[in-house]
Amino acid sequence: MKVAVIGGGPGGLYAAALLKRLDPDREITLWERNAPDDTFGFGVVLSDETLGGIEHADPEVYEALQRDFVRWDDIDIVQRGVTHRSTGHGFAALGRRRLLEILHARCRSLGVDIRFRTEAPSPDRLSASYDLVIAADGVRSTVRETYPQEFRPQVSEHRCRYIWLAADFAFDAFRFEIAETGHGPMQLHGYPYAADASTVIVEMREEVWKAAGFDEITPHESIEACAKIFADALRGRPLRSHRSAWTTFRTVVNDRWSHGNVVLLGDAAHTAHFSIGSGTKLAVEDALALAACLSEQPTLEAALTAYEEERKPVVASTQRAARASLEWFENLPLYLGQPPRQFAFNLLTRSRRVTHDNLRLRDAHFTEAVEREFGCPSGTPPMFMPFRLRGLTLRNRVVVSPMDMYSAVDGVPGDFHLVHLGARALGGAGLVMTEMVCVSDQGRITPGCTGLYTGRQAEAWRRVTDFVHTQAPGTAIGVQLGHSGRKGSTKLMWEGIDEPLPRGNWPLVAASPLPYKPGSQTPRQLSRAQLTDIREQFTAAAWRAARAGFDLLELHCAHGYLLSGFLSPLTNRRTDAYGGSPERRLRFPLEVFDAVRAVWPAERPMTVRISATDWAEGGTTAEDAVEIARAFAAHGVDAIDVSTGQVVAEERPEFGRSYQTPFADRIRNSAGVPVIAVGAISSWDDVNSLILAGRTDLCALGRPHLYDPHWTLHAAAEQGYEGPGVHWPAPYRAGGRRPQTGRTDAPKPRLTLGS
């Protein structure tokens, strides 16, 4: 096999070395446009996981790296003159130039032909002359740009400027320092990479960078200014650069990673923000996987397919973590008012990869100090702290999220609802929410939706609330009121979600006469008189909800249902007083809120669920959501339940663990209103992490409660908690200890070669 490698960074070099070591008969040529010692970074951080893969695949490279690594365990977070140190993190770093020297030497010893200061031939020419072309040519990949229709790249630039520098001394920890200047906050990321040298990255929002005048001074003047701003961190020492320049980070995602015999690797295929230190790690792991797949698969085509299938999910997970970290630093001003120790915890858990439980294993002393500052009694996880909403005190921070069951007859909740909601109330959550309860028969989503538009329905709901209050004392039960709008008159979810009924349809109404998707029924635009009628339907339902014994009422203004349809510019095309500007689009939802608040008992709280983004161009944005939350807060809402999407059928959500929580975080810390976070929060560790970091006040979980009705009780048992934040029903106390399980073996190393 003849292999061409374009790009002499760590990924390209390591791929060349591995492929040559696996089969010495391979003819491997690598092109690098720069000189051997020409590198634009300073230090490289590698994880123990990556090093383990290198050790098994090539002990010689591993031993060479080991001799030069600088290792440390601590992270320092410096904010407003206060330093908090967290330990137990386990970093290993070395100079990027030294890493390249080791890989150069390994490639030469194996017989790889490296051509420095040489532009690679065109990708078309290489693919015609070689069996395999590895494009490791970086974030601005020529190969990727040559085949845009095949790789389908998406490149996003972000809001911060940064510059990559170095200092001639070694930090004794990974250091994050915040400087609050007259122009805005700036941050330093620093870590040692040799006994006498450290990487220093200075980063700030674009508007801060311009306000400070960095766009008008020379690179040398920039470096001197950064050294002065962070003089304490640098101990008064200067900074140096190697052709360093201010830049913005570019996130690269590709739909496909291979085209014919050409394959992308490292930054050419994907990038992950430097704040989680994964660029070199990902490139090296790409090389390991590609080499393994080429050895395991019978054909090149099968190998490249296997490589992409193996690496894409791993990279996507890392990119989600990197995006969360990047956005945390972009939104740094939101957190500067936090107590320094909570700020430090928030920073450490920003990517959602380090969690409360994980951090407690690494550094129990630091984590317990954060908990004490938060107000947790000894042995009380954050999720079991009480929370007060108006006259209602929830005994813990767990909410059973509203989940449509589509199991009612004529809007009446039956035995299924009693068992469904009753079981989850017995399961220990602080608040159990009903599904969306419709305010009229024509406001239903499906024929199976529950309602509160008749006295019979209210009586049936009273049966449920009585059970909860009697059999699960201390658990609150809330009702979510809504109207389907243009998303009504559809089949039950399992018969065809959002598909129109084949018969028995009812007319639909909405803010504007726009069908939800092709084939959907077109709604009528609501007149002024109809708006009044619907507002009265909401108030009548709220009055019945109060009589039925609900403790909390939530107004459903999300997911493209009627009130949500007024809020989004994609679904509200009105030209009257209820459409156009954000203030006008808010008018009807606020009118309904005010009317419901007027009949809802004053001591009982009201929340509002919103879609904080439409996940579609031209729709509601995170910034819009903050203003929507502020408007409801001004009208007396007690908390905002922050969901996203389902407003338009053409949405493109960015799914992932806890993927909606950043929107709740932004609203809480921008608008100053309590929030309920939702969206793929699946573990009690996530709940503890989000609450302790100050990103949310309550966490709503849906699917986990479908999987395990007693999710909260089990979370308490698994954490050894037996305090007042959870109540085991007497008949269930014997189940308060986690059952034993069998052992599981760790996965084997990805690629093991003989020495």
**pLDDT, average across residues 95-100:** 92
The pairing of beta strand 552-557 with beta strand 524-525: unpaired
Query: Does residue 299 share a domain with residue 157?
Result: yes
Query: Does residue 409 share a domain with residue 324?
Result: no
**For 13, phi and psi rounded to 5 degrees?**
-65, -45
Residue with the two structure tokens 């590895």 = 134
pLDDT at 346: 97
Average model confidence (pLDDT) across the chain: 94
pLDDT at 53: 78
What letter does residue 519 receive in the DSSP assignment? T
Q: What is the pLDDT of residues 463-501, one digit of tens each?
A: 999 999 999 999 999 999 999 999 999 999 899 899 999
Least confident of 180-184, 342-346, 659-663, 737-741: 737-741
pLDDT at 714: 95
Residue 376 lies in a domain: no
Query: Does residue 315 share a domain with residue 409?
Result: no
Residue 32 lies in a domain: yes
End-to-end CA distance of the chain: 22
What letter does residue 487 receive in the DSSP assignment? G
CB 478 within 8 A of CB 449: no
pLDDT at 744: 61
Contacts of 684 (CB under 8 A, 6+ apart): 381, 383, 715, 718, 719
Residue type, 439: V
Given a cut of 80, whether residue 741 has pLDDT beyond it is: no
**For 660, phi and psi rounded to 5 degrees?**
-95, -10
Query: Does residue 316 share a domain with residue 445?
Result: no
Alpha helices in 247-380 (DSSP H): 279-296, 300-330, 340-348, 356-362, 364-374
Given a cut of 50, whether residue 173 has pLDDT beyond it is: yes
**For 8, phi and psi rounded to 5 degrees?**
-105, 35
Q: What is the pLDDT of residues 271-307, one digit of tens each?
A: 999 998 778 889 999 999 999 999 999 999 999 999 9
Query: Does residue 206 share a domain with residue 101?
Result: yes
Q: Is 83 exposed, middle or buried (0-12, 13-18, 19+ CB in 10 A)?
A: middle
Query: Does residue 325 share a domain with residue 391?
Result: no
Q: What is the pLDDT of residues 493-543, one digit of tens each?
A: 899 899 999 999 999 999 999 999 999 999 999 999 999 999 999 999 999
**pLDDT, average across residues 395-417:** 96
Residue 752 lies in a domain: no
* Residue 528 CB neighbours (<10 A): 10
The CA-based diameter of the chain, rounded to the nearest angstrom, is: 85
Express as a percent the part of the chain with pLDDT over 70: 98
With cut-offs at 50, 70 and 90, classify the pLDDT of residue 755.
very low
* Residue 412 CB neighbours (<10 A): 16
**For 321, phi and psi rounded to 5 degrees?**
-65, -40
Dihedral-angle region of residue 179 (phi above 0 means left; psi in -120 to 50 means alpha; beta otherwise): beta
**pLDDT, average across residues 628-637:** 98
Query: Does residue 475 share a domain with residue 614?
Result: yes
In 3D space, the residue among 402, 428, 429, 431 whose CA is nearest the CA of residue 417 turns out to be: 402
CB 508 within 8 A of CB 485: yes
Q: What is the pLDDT of residues 19-78, one digit of tens each?
A: 999 999 999 999 999 988 777 678 888 777 777 878 888 888 889 888 889 999 999 999
Sign of torsion, CA 536 538 544 549?
Answer: negative
> How would you label 530-542 residue by residue, b for 16+ Cβ within 10 Å and e otherwise?
ebeebbebbbbbb
Contacts of 679 (CB under 8 A, 6+ apart): 643, 644, 658, 659, 660, 661
Given a cut of 80, whether residue 743 has pLDDT beyond it is: no
> How would you label 287-296 residue by residue, b for 16+ Cβ within 10 Å and e otherwise?
bbbbbbbbee
pLDDT at 428: 96
Express as a percent the part of the chain with pLDDT over 90: 88
With H, G, I as helix, E, B as strand and everything else as coil, classify residue 559: coil
**pLDDT, average across residues 160-169:** 96
With cut-offs at 50, 70 and 90, classify the pLDDT of residue 132.
very high
Q: What is the CATH number of the domain that holds 212?
A: 3.50.50.60
Query: Does residue 462 share a domain with residue 324?
Result: no
Residue 612 lies in a domain: yes
Give the span between the Cα atoms of 546 and 565, in whole angstroms: 26
Q: What is the CATH number of the domain that holds 572?
A: 3.20.20.70
CB 249 within 8 A of CB 205: no
Total domains in the chain come to 2
Looking at 675, 697, 719, the residue that finishes a domain is 697
Q: What is the pLDDT of residues 377-394, one digit of tens each?
A: 999 999 999 999 999 999
Q: Which residues make beta-bridge pairs with 2?
A: 27
CB 453 within 8 A of CB 497: no
If one compares 42 and 747, the residue with the highest pLDDT of the two is: 42
Contacts of 361 (CB under 8 A, 6+ apart): 88
pLDDT at 752: 63
Residues with active-site annotation: 561
Give the span between the Cα atoms of 581 and 572, in whole angstroms: 10
Give the span between the Cα atoms of 247 and 533, in whole angstroms: 56
Question: Taking CA 311 as the corner, what is the angle to CA 307 and CA 316, rounded to the nearest 5 degrees?
Answer: 150
In 3D space, the residue among 201, 197, 209 whose CA is nearest the CA of residue 169 turns out to be: 197
Give the span between the Cα atoms of 454 and 412, in whole angstroms: 9
Query: Does residue 390 share a domain with residue 328?
Result: no
Given a cut of 70, whether residue 750 has pLDDT beyond it is: no
Residue 355 lies in a domain: no
Residue type, 417: H
Q: What is the pLDDT of residues 299-329, one digit of tens each?
A: 999 999 999 999 999 999 999 999 999 999 9
Q: Is 54 exposed, middle or buried (0-12, 13-18, 19+ CB in 10 A)?
A: buried
Give the span between the Cα atoms of 510 and 529, in whole angstroms: 13
Query: Does residue 250 share a domain with residue 109?
Result: yes
The strand ranges marked E within 386-492 are 387-389, 392-394, 398-400, 431-438, 476-482
Residue 748 lies in a domain: no
Contacts of 402 (CB under 8 A, 6+ apart): 433, 434, 435, 436, 480, 554, 556, 609, 700, 702
Sign of torsion, CA 329 331 337 343?
Answer: negative
pLDDT at 693: 97
Least confident of 49-58, 147-156, 736-745: 736-745
* Residue 471 CB neighbours (<10 A): 13
Residue type, 493: M
With cut-offs at 50, 70 and 90, classify the pLDDT of residue 747.
low
Given a cut of 90, whether residue 197 has pLDDT beyond it is: yes
Give the span between the Cα atoms of 315 and 269, in whole angstroms: 10
Residue 395 lies in a domain: yes
In 3D space, the residue among 31, 9, 42, 16 whose CA is nearest the CA of residue 171 turns out to be: 42
Query: Does residue 613 share a domain with residue 488?
Result: yes
Query: Does residue 264 share a domain with residue 168?
Result: yes
Residue 356 lies in a domain: no
* Domain housing 455: 386-697
**pLDDT, average across residues 322-341:** 94
- For helices 59-68 and 48-57, give the axis angle rounded to 10 degrees: 140
Given a cut of 60, whether residue 2 has pLDDT beyond it is: yes
Give the span between the Cα atoms of 42 and 191, in whole angstroms: 10
Q: Which residues make beta-bridge pairs with 254?
A: 153
Tokens at residue 431, please? 């608040």
pLDDT at 730: 87
Contacts of 470 (CB under 8 A, 6+ apart): none
Q: What is the pLDDT of residues 572-630, one digit of tens each?
A: 999 999 999 999 999 999 999 999 999 999 999 999 999 999 999 999 999 999 999 99
* Residue 390 CB neighbours (<10 A): 15
Looking at 650, 673, 697, the residue that finishes a domain is 697
Looking at 332, 352, 374, the residue that finishes a domain is 332
